[in-house]
Amino acid sequence: MDKQKDIKPWETVSSKYLIQRPWLTARRDVLRMPDGKLVPEYYVLEYPTWVNIIAITTEGKYLLVRQYRHALGIVEYELCAGTMDAKDATPLDAAKRELLEETGYAGGEWTELTALSANPTSMNNLNHTFIAKGVEKVSSQHLDETEEITVHLFTLQELIDLLRRDEMKQSLMVAPLWRYIAENHLL
């Protein structure tokens, strides 16, 4: 590609918060495009860093959680996931904490697979996906007051069948799972 002509970032002219609550922070930016055109109303949603985990037990089972997702109105199987908070030094720390809290599993070998965005147009955060190989149950769940989560062990084939039936909807989980399957030639 001719780098001279590459697309350039747009300039932020002004920025104003509409709402700043723990579960929704939204601002309206006024932007100027490189050709000078003004974009008077561009909305950005601010979120903390997110994490999720492809956790595989010592027996080779894939650890999924099941919960209600209200915006889409569905109960679905998902990867264990959560939000990085003040007590987490790194996304990896957040991922280990969330896996232990939501499932009671810990241990194993951890590597980061990918960092993706739910929507870079409107959301300012990334989600980091870790692979945790060889996790074991070490405690019971420790859920927040408004968390209602059950824990499930899937074989690889059951997980692939679930993905092929489009029953896991959350693209931040589906993307790293298909990458893991493709890169490890598991199909």
Which residues between 31 and 60 bind a second copy (CB under 8 A)? 31, 33-35, 37, 39, 41-45
Count of residues that bind a second copy according to CB under 8 A: 71
Cα separation, 52 vs 94, in Å, equals: 9
CB of residue 24 to a second copy, shortest distance in Å: 4
Q: The tokens 């979120």 sit on which residue?
A: 47
CB of residue 165 to a second copy, shortest distance in Å: 10
Residue 141 binds to a second copy (criterion: CB under 8 A): no
Residue of the chain from 58, 111, 119, 155 that contacts a second copy (CB under 8 A): 119
Residue 71 binds to a second copy (criterion: CB under 8 A): yes
CB-CB contact of 49 with 83 (8 Å): yes
CB of residue 107 to a second copy, shortest distance in Å: 25
> Which positions ≥6 away from 64 have C-beta within 8 Å?
77, 78, 79, 80, 151, 152, 153, 154, 159
| 151 C-beta neighbours (distance < 10 Å), count | 15
Cα separation, 78 vs 102, in Å, equals: 12
Residue of the chain from 4, 140, 146, 157 that contacts a second copy (CB under 8 A): 146
> Which positions ≥6 away from 43 have C-beta within 8 Å?
18, 26, 27, 28, 29, 122
In 3D space, the residue among 41, 50, 49, 53 whose CA is nearest the CA of residue 14 turns out to be 41
Residue of the chain from 30, 48, 61, 67 that contacts a second copy (CB under 8 A): 67
Q: The tokens 């104003």 sit on which residue?
A: 16
Cα separation, 109 vs 153, in Å, equals: 18
Cα separation, 55 vs 52, in Å, equals: 9
CB of residue 166 to a second copy, shortest distance in Å: 6
Q: Which of residues 90-109 bind a second copy (CB under 8 A)?
A: none
Residue of the chain from 3, 73, 86, 157 that contacts a second copy (CB under 8 A): 73
* Nearest CB to a second copy, comparing residues 55 and 177: 177
Window contacting a second copy (CB under 8 A); options: 61-69, 90-98, 100-108, 136-144: 61-69
Q: Which of residues 162-181 bind a second copy (CB under 8 A)?
A: 163, 166, 169-172, 174-175, 178-179, 181
